[in-house]
Structure 1
Amino acid sequence: MPHRPERLEAAVRHLPIDLIQPGTLQARRVFDPQGIEELAGSIRESGVVQPVVVRSLGDGYELLAGERRWRAAQQAELHEIPAIVRDDLSDDEAMVLGLIENLQRESLTPIEAAAGLQFLADHYDLTHAEAAKRIGKSREYVSNYLRLLKLAEPVQKLVNERLLSLGHAKALAGLPSVMQPGMAMDAVSGGWSVRVLESRCRAALKRAGAEADKPRRDAQWQAVEQQLTEALGNRVQIDFDGQKGEFRVAFHSLDEFDGILQRLGVEISG
Structure 2
Amino acid sequence: MSANRLGKGLEALIRPEKEKKKSPGKKTSAISGVTEIPLKDIHPNPNQPRKEFDSSSLEELMMSIREKGVITPVTVREIESGYELIAGERRWRASKKLRKRVIPAYVIKVEDDADMLEIALIENIQRDDLNALEEAEAYAVLNSKFGMSHDSIAKAVGKKRVTISNSLRLLKLPPEIRKSLRKGNISAGHCRAILQSKTIPQMMRIWNTILENDLSVRAAESLIKGSQNTQKKKKVKVRSKSSQITAIENQLIEVFGTKVRLNYSKTGGSIEISYFSDDDLERIIDLINTIS
Q: Same fold (TM over 0.5)?
A: yes
2:217 maps to 194
Q: Indicate how the Cα distance of structure 1 residues 16 and 208 shifts in structure 2: closer, same or farther if over 3 A, else same.
A: farther
Aligned to 2:204: 181
Instruction: Pick one of 222, 226, 249 that aligns with 1:203.
Output: 226
Q: Which residue of structure 2 lines up, in the alignment, with residue 152 of structure 1?
A: 174
1:29 pairs with one of 51, 54, 60: 51
TM-score (normalizing by structure 2): 0.66
Are residues 1:168 and 2:190 paired?
yes
Q: TM-score, normalised by structure 1?
A: 0.71
Query: Residue 140 of structure 1: CA displacement?
Result: 3.7
Distance 1:134 1:29 in 2: 21
* Match 2:82 to one of 55, 60, 66: 60
Aligned to 1:79: 101
- Between the aligned residues of both structures, percent identity stands at 36
| Partner amino acid, structure 1, of 2:164 | V
Unaligned runs of 5+ in 2: 6-11, 20-30, 235-292
Counterpart mapping for 1:87-236 below 5 A: 87-175=109-197, 176-207=199-230
Structure 1 residue 109 displacement after superposition:
2.9
Q: After superposition, give the CA deviation of every residue in 1:92-137 in whole Å (9 maximum; x if it has no partner).
A: 2111111111122222232221111112233454443432221112
Cα distance, 1:204 vs structure 2: 1.1
Q: Is the 8 A contact 2:15 2:108 kept in 1?
A: no
Q: Are 1:37 and 1:75, in contact at CA under 8 Å, matched by a contact in 2? A: no
Secondary structure class of the residue paired with 1:44: helix
- What is the rounded CA distance, in whole Å, between the counterparts of 1:50 and 1:103 in structure 2? 16
Give RMSD over aligned pairs.
2.4
Query: Is this contact kept in 1: 2:75–2:107, CA < 8 A?
Result: yes
Instruction: Map Cα deviations across residues 10-56 of structure 1 (whole Å, 9 max, x no partner).
Output: 33101111111112121222211111111111111111111111112
Distance in 2 between residues matched to 1:120 and 1:166, nearest whole Å = 20
Q: Distance in 2 between matches of 1:111 and 1:123?
A: 17
Paired residues of 2:16 and 2:34 also in contact (CA < 8 A): no
* Distance in 2 of aligned mates of 1:82 and 1:191: 45
Which residue number corresponds to residue 247 of structure 2?
none
Taking the aligned partners of 2:232 and 2:203, their CA distance within structure 1 comes to 16
Return the letter of the residue paired with 1:111. L
> 1:52–1:66: 8 Å Cα contact kept in structure 2?
yes
Larger radius of gyration between Structure 1 and Structure 2? 1
Unaligned runs of 5+ in 1: 212-270
How many pairs were matched up? Answer: 211
| 8 Å contact kept, 1:23–1:62 | yes
Quick one: structure 1 residues 186 and 43, their matched pair in 2 at CA, closer, same or farther if it must change by over 3 Å? Answer: same
Q: Does 1:40 align with 2:62?
A: yes
Distance 1:134 1:55, change over 3 A: same
Q: One-letter code of the match for 1:77?
A: R
Cα offset, 1:209, TM superposition: 11
